[in-house]
A and B are shown apart, each in its own frame.
Chain A
Amino acid sequence: MEEVLQVKEINKIYQGKVAFQALTNVSFSVEKGEFIGIMGPSGSGKTTLLNLISTIDKPTSGKVLINGQDPHQLKKERLAEFRRKELGFVFQDFNLLDTLTLEENIMLPLTLENVDPELIEEKVKTISKKLGIDAILTKRTYEVSGGQKQRTAIARAIIHQPKLLLADEPTGNLDSKASKDVMQTLQMINENDQTTMLMVTHDPYAASYCHRVIFIKDGKLYNEIYRGTDQKAFFQQIMDVLSMLGGDRDDFSTVRL
């Protein structure tokens, strides 16, 4: 299988009055079409890891390869191009621009690429239909619900068919119904388009949609578990690992299934 993402021996040290090692020798790889979850208690280094992969932050040592290419070696301008061609982002707080309509938010990556407006329109149409937001395209961000915002953000993240979709707590700001919608959307995209996905989450229910969940604790890989066919069983497995990870069960959201 083709490996879309390889994380090799990365370390991240935050310099400060007291240097802090956020990540220690983390290595793993993700194959094409895989849907990976990353979990861990607060402060375990999940977000740091995602920032390194998403090229927002640089590792102190080690390598991140996306499609065999090391984005950290790229010059600034090339890096921006790399981000908008190869990567897609979904954030906890959506990061939609208030100045734009939903439709304009979705097409943003393509307009930045100077794609022909008619082609853009077509793509927006197909993708919004697929995600069930075609009826609210002309609305502004403050006129729609959180779930709708997140699905808009997902549409924006996948409109240019990225090699790797990165999601940072995509359900963190949503209620259970909206969470379910968003996760099913992600799952559908993963299955239909074979989009490789990497998701950082707190939410064991969201994680139960993944093929594989990697746990980190204190900046080190702790464990990883694969999903069988049964989502419910996987959810239970995740809960078990989480309780072994330490901390109280209360640290995590309650059972929703």
Chain B
Amino acid sequence: MTFPQFAYKNITRNLRAYMAFYLSSSFAVMIFFMFAMFIFHPALETGYMNNIAKKGMKFAEWIIFGFSIFFILYSLSTFLKTRKKEFGILTIHGASPKQLRWLITLENVFIGLASIITGILGGTVLAKFFFIAGAYMVKMEPLQLYFPLEALGITVGVFLLLFILISQFMLFTIHSEEVISLLKGSEKPKKEPKPSILFSVLGILFLGTGFGMSLFAGIDMGSAVVITLCTVIGTYLFYSQLSVWMIQLLKRNKKMYRKGINLLWISDLTYRIKDNARLFFIVSIVSAVAFTATGTLATYKLMFSTAETSYAMEFLSYATNQDEKKQLEFIKEKLEQENIDYQQTIFKAIEARQGPMSYPVLVVSHQDWVKQFPELQAPNIHDGEGIYYGEAKRGGYTIVNGNKTKLLTDDQQMSITLQSIEEPVFYLSDILVVDHNTFRQLEQNHELSTMYGFQFENWKESLEISQEIQSQIVGETFNPNAQYFSKAVRYFETVQLPSLSLFIGLFIAIIFFLAAGSFLYFRLFADLYEERKKYKSLAKIGLSEKEMVKISTIQMAILFFLPFLLAIIETGFALHVLQREGGYFHVFQSGVITILGFLGLQIIYFIVMRHSYNKHLKEYVFR
């Protein structure tokens, strides 16, 4: 038997142990590849995405990669831990460190290659499925599957390097151990952890600071980073320290602790607290990211349900505008260039402010208004009366209060009684129609602004010229002398673009949620071997099947729902920050819906996993 033969036999005859590692690696590759496929998608390469979104996605990709490193490292270390005894035996029989290194590197490259292949295949299938499902959910055209040369290259290159580097790193940890501790390997029981008061206090402080700041502190880039860091560190300390205290409290209550199966699961929890702390930590953070991403996007989606306005394009030129003629010519030229048959509306108006917020409004004479908009059937009004065309409330702020309003211009102030408040006619500005005499009065001291409205069919197709006009009139940011609005641009920004972001966000959320789930899965099945041995010896002294199922259910429930709970709390705070600083208004509602959705998924996952795990246990313990 040559050494490579030995390495080969090692894998093929111990397939079960290698399987878990192989599957988790494949999973990491799959996620990375799916996302890469998405980023390099030709459809996104062209129109849709602006640079910021693109950068964000690249960033997310590297986050996923960082997470993959962690994930693979975690599964490799559990995998090698179960094999420590084997390495000890090899060493004691004279395997040189060089040979061991060769063996492990060989194995890792082999498994790495295999999992890169499966990951890419699985990713392709799942991506297709996700493109369709995602497109359906956010109501956009499904993305086509394509041959992702770039994504392939990056995935293979990055992961091959990762597998080689990680195996070298793991070798380092093995070499530093004595043969004897290798031989005792995983049999050597872990010491009961002792909580440190210092770290516990620090944990409370960090969590408290994180949560407190998210409630009260001003949010900018700096404090956001501080909050995130505090929460992350606090979460880790919470699991590694505070949980020990809690369990000790549980143990102190002997009536409870020594009752039935409690003894078994509580002591087991103590025993594994270190492993669990790490797992809980990862799962909590990853789930919190998934929840927050979805919650934010759900909020985002809800925000864009504004009233329809009737003009495909609006152009508002203030009195100060020098280029009005040129700009108007440009608009018309563009419209004609596209052979668009349009109707134009023009009226003069006075710039003013009104209401409790001093919200800008255009004042129009009744005479003029009725002439331009006979179809609105504006009723007759008298001196000091007006009709308001606009929304009384915007984003939680009251624009028009009651039926009396104070009209402010640069040098005048007058009170107007509103006869009615009607649906908005223009997007660019609210309109206040006043009687002709009042208008005259105002007109004397003010230059007039001009509002142009263009009405035509098939406005969705005018996105390109609209964007050109917009950059001509408004420029990069803002033009104090003129405003321009196009329904096509608005539709693109509020429906198409958010759909895309929602899609991306959903994608990230689902990936992270899957990741959290897979962590739990691999953890459970890595321990299955030891667990069933334990249950078998317990069964000999009279543990019934029902009791075994009960214990494993309790343990699994803790694994599944404790990190979930903390993730919910963290999500709550994150969404609260959004509400406070981002001006999002449906945060609570969408947050609850999101979390309920994830809870539902988690419960289903729990039920499925519990069933399969217990089946494995029963088959071995009670044949």
Contact = CB atoms under 8 A, between A and B. Distances in A.
B189 A104 contact: no
A72 interface: no
Contacts of A91: 537, 540
Nearest to B547: A112
Interface stretch (B39-47, B254-262, B499-507): B254-262
Interface stretch (B263-271, B338-346, B484-492): B263-271
A76 interface: yes
Nearest to A54: B540
A99 interface: yes
Given A97-B534, A99-B271, A100-B267, A84 B541 contact: yes
Interface string A89-126: 10100010111100010011101101001001100000
Nearest to B541: A89
A13 interface: no
A54 B542 CA distance: 11
Contacts of B542: 80-85, 87, 109, 112
A140 B188 contact: no
Given A91-B537, A99-B267, A104-B263, A80 B254 contact: no
Contact of B543 (A100, A112, A140, A156): A112
B252 to A, nearest CB: 13
B263 A108 contact: yes
B537 to A, nearest CB: 4
Contact of B544 (A76, A114, A157): A76
B543 A80 contact: yes
A91 B258 CA distance: 24
Contacts of A104: 258, 263, 267
B544 A81 contact: yes
A89 B537 CA distance: 10
A83 B263 contact: no
Contacts of A81: 542, 544
B388 to A, nearest CB: 73
B259 A117 contact: yes
Nearest to A78: B544
A254 B541 CA distance: 32
A141 B259 contact: no
B581 interface: no
A54 B541 CA distance: 10
A188 interface: no
B261 A112 contact: yes
B539 interface: yes
Contacts of B538: 97, 108
A82 B539 CA distance: 11
A117 B255 CA distance: 6
Interface string A1-19: 0000000000000000000
A54 B536 CA distance: 13
Contact of A120 (B258, B541, B543, B547): B258
A18 B214 CA distance: 71
Nearest to B622: A76
A51 to B, nearest CB: 10
Given A98-B271, A99-B268, A77 B546 contact: yes
Nearest to B255: A117
A140 B271 CA distance: 11
A56 interface: yes
A20 interface: no
Nearest to B533: A95
If over half of B's interface residues share one DSSP class (helix, strand or loop), that class is named, otherwise mixed; here it is helix
Interface string A53-85: 010100000000000000000001101111111
B391 interface: no
B545 A117 contact: no
A141 B541 contact: no
B464 interface: no
Nearest to A120: B258
A87 B542 CA distance: 9
Q: Interface residues of A: mostly helix, strand, loop or mixed?
A: helix
Interface in B236-263: 254-255, 258-263
Contacts of A54: 540
Interface residues on A, range: 35 or more
Contacts of A140: 189, 192
Identify which of A82, A83, A91, A97 gathers the most chain B CB atoms within 10 Å of its CB: A97
Interface in B147-186: none
A114 B545 contact: no
A89 B540 CA distance: 8
Contacts of A56: 540
Residue among B255, B263, B270, B547 with the highest chain A CB neighbour number at 10 A: B263
- Pick from A85, A114, A156 the residue with the most CB of B within 10 Å: A114
A88 B622 CA distance: 19
A123 B258 CA distance: 14
A54 B540 CA distance: 8
Contacts of A117: 254-255, 258-259
Nearest to B271: A99
Contacts of A97: 264, 267, 534, 537-538
B189 A80 contact: no
Interface string B525-538: 00000000010011
A91 B262 CA distance: 24
B541 A108 contact: yes
B95 to A, nearest CB: 27
A109 B541 contact: yes
Contacts of B262: 111
A142 B541 contact: no
Nearest to A58: B623
Nearest to A110: B258
A114 B259 CA distance: 6
Contacts of B260: 111-112, 114
A165 to B, nearest CB: 12
Contacts of A88: 541
Interface centre among A82, A83, A99, A156 (most CB of B within 10 A): A99
Contacts of B271: 98-99
A95 B189 contact: no
Given A100-B267, A108-B263, A140-B189, A80 B545 contact: yes
Contacts of B270: 99
A99 B261 CA distance: 13
A11 B547 CA distance: 32
A160 to B, nearest CB: 9
Contact of B540 (A77, A95, A100): A95
A156 B540 CA distance: 12
A98 B540 contact: no
Contacts of A95: 537, 540-541
B487 to A, nearest CB: 67
Contacts of A120: 258
A241 to B, nearest CB: 30
A81 B267 CA distance: 23
Contacts of B540: 54, 56, 83, 89, 91, 95
A111 B258 contact: yes
A228 to B, nearest CB: 34
Contacts of A111: 258-263
Contacts of A79: 544
26 contacts: A76-B545, A77-B544, A80-B539, A83-B539, A83-B541, A83-B542, A84-B542, A85-B542, A89-B540, A89-B541, A97-B267, A97-B538, A99-B264, A99-B271, A100-B267, A104-B263, A108-B541, A109-B541, A111-B259, A111-B261, A111-B263, A112-B547, A114-B259, A114-B260, A117-B259, A120-B258
Given A80-B543, A112-B260, 17 more contacts: A77-B546, A80-B545, A83-B539, A84-B541, A91-B537, A91-B540, A97-B264, A97-B537, A97-B538, A98-B189, A98-B271, A99-B271, A108-B541, A109-B541, A109-B542, A112-B543, A117-B259
Interface of A: 54, 56, 76-77, 79-85, 87-89, 91, 95, 97-100, 104, 107-109, 111-112, 114, 117, 120-121, 140-142, 156-157
Smallest CB-CB A-B distances: 5 pairs: A84-B542, A80-B544, A83-B542, A98-B189, A99-B271
